[in-house]
Chains A and B, each alone.
Chain A
Amino acid sequence: MPVKIESMADLDAAAQVLAGDKTAQVLGGGTILMPRVNAGDVALRRLLRISDPVLRKMTVGGPEITIGAGVSMADILAQQGLAFLHPAAVCVGGPAIRNMATLGGNLFAKAPYGDLAVLLLALGTEVSLAGGRTGPGAARRDPIEVLFRQSTDARAPLVRAVHLARPKAGQVQFHKMARTNPRGPAVVTLAVSLEVSAGRIAKARIALGGIETRPCLAVGVARTLEGAALSEAAITRACAEVLRELTPRSDALASGWYRGEMAQLHLRRILQQMM
Chain B
Amino acid sequence: MSVDFRKDIFAKERDDNLNEIGKPTRRQDILGHVTGRSPFFDDHRFDGLLHIKCVRSPHHHARIRAIDTTRAETMPGVVRIIRGSDVPVNLNTLLSLLDFGKDDEPVLAESKVAYMGEPVLAIVAQSEAQAHEAVAAVRIDYEVLPHVLDVEEAIKPGAAVVNETYPGNKFEFYGGNDHQKLRFGDVAPAFARADHIVEGRYQMAPIEQAPIEPNGAIAAPQTNDRYVCYTSTQGLFFSLGTVAKLLNVESNRLHFIGGTVGGGFGGKVDSLCEPLAILGAMLTGRAVRYVLDRAEEMQVSAPRSAELWYVKDGLAADGRIIARQLTGYFDSGAYTRLTGYGVVKCIGHLPGPYTIPNVHSDAYCVYTNRTPATAMRGFGVTAVDFAIERQMDKGARALGMDPFEFRLINAYRDGDMKAHRRLAGNCALIESIQAAAERVDYPLGAEFRAMTSMSGGGGERALIPPTRTERLGMLPAGTSTVEVKTTAPGLVPQFGVDLPVPATGLPAPSPTPTPVPAPKAPETRATTYDYGASGLSAPPAPKEVPPATEPAALTKSQPGPVTPKPRYSRYSSLGNRRR
Interface residues of A (CB under 8 A from B): 1-2, 38-40, 42
Contacts and interface: CB of A to CB of B under 8 A. Distances in A.
B129 interface: yes
Nearest to B131: A40
Interface string B127-167: 01111110110000000000000000000000000000000
Contacts of B135: 40
Interface in B105-147: 128-133, 135-136
B129 A40 contact: yes
Given A39-B293, A40-B133, A42-B133, 16 more contacts: A1-B133, A2-B129, A2-B130, A2-B133, A38-B293, A39-B132, A39-B295, A40-B53, A40-B128, A40-B129, A40-B131, A40-B132, A40-B135, A40-B136, A42-B132, A42-B136
A40 B133 CA distance: 7
19 contacts: A1-B133, A2-B129, A2-B130, A2-B133, A38-B293, A39-B132, A39-B293, A39-B295, A40-B53, A40-B128, A40-B129, A40-B131, A40-B132, A40-B133, A40-B135, A40-B136, A42-B132, A42-B133, A42-B136
A203 B252 CA distance: 78
Interface string B294-310: 01000000000000000
| Main secondary structure on A side of the interface with B | loop
Contacts, number: 19
Interface of B: 53, 128-133, 135-136, 293, 295
Contacts of A1: 133
A150 to B, nearest CB: 28
Nearest to B137: A42
A39 B133 CA distance: 10
A267 to B, nearest CB: 29
B149 to A, nearest CB: 16
- Interface pairs A-B: 10 shortest CB-CB: A40-B132, A42-B136, A2-B129, A2-B133, A39-B295, A39-B293, A40-B129, A42-B133, A40-B133, A40-B135
Contacts of B131: 40
B487 to A, nearest CB: 56
Nearest to A41: B132
Contacts of A39: 132, 293, 295
A2 B135 CA distance: 12
B42 to A, nearest CB: 15
B236 to A, nearest CB: 29
A69 B360 CA distance: 65
Contacts of A42: 132-133, 136
B140 to A, nearest CB: 16
Contacts of B293: 38-39
A33 to B, nearest CB: 15
A2 B131 CA distance: 10
A178 B133 CA distance: 36
Contacts of A40: 53, 128-129, 131-133, 135-136
Nearest to A2: B129
| Residue from A39, A40, A42 whose CB has the most chain B CB atoms within 10 Å | A40
A38 B128 CA distance: 9
B443 to A, nearest CB: 31
Contacts of B129: 2, 40
A26 B135 CA distance: 26
A270 to B, nearest CB: 31
A171 B293 CA distance: 45
B115 to A, nearest CB: 18
A123 B293 CA distance: 40
Contacts of B133: 1-2, 40, 42
Contacts of B136: 40, 42
B101 to A, nearest CB: 31
A47 to B, nearest CB: 14
A40 B131 CA distance: 9
A4 to B, nearest CB: 12
A1 B132 CA distance: 11
Nearest to B293: A39
A65 B132 CA distance: 44
A39 B135 CA distance: 12
Nearest to A37: B129
A24 to B, nearest CB: 18
B319 to A, nearest CB: 35
A196 B130 CA distance: 59
Contacts of A2: 129-130, 133
A40 B135 CA distance: 9
B197 to A, nearest CB: 31
A264 B16 CA distance: 56
Nearest to A43: B136
A184 B130 CA distance: 33
A144 to B, nearest CB: 31
A2 B133 CA distance: 7
A38 B53 CA distance: 12
A92 B31 CA distance: 34
A44 to B, nearest CB: 11
A148 B4 CA distance: 55
B96 to A, nearest CB: 34
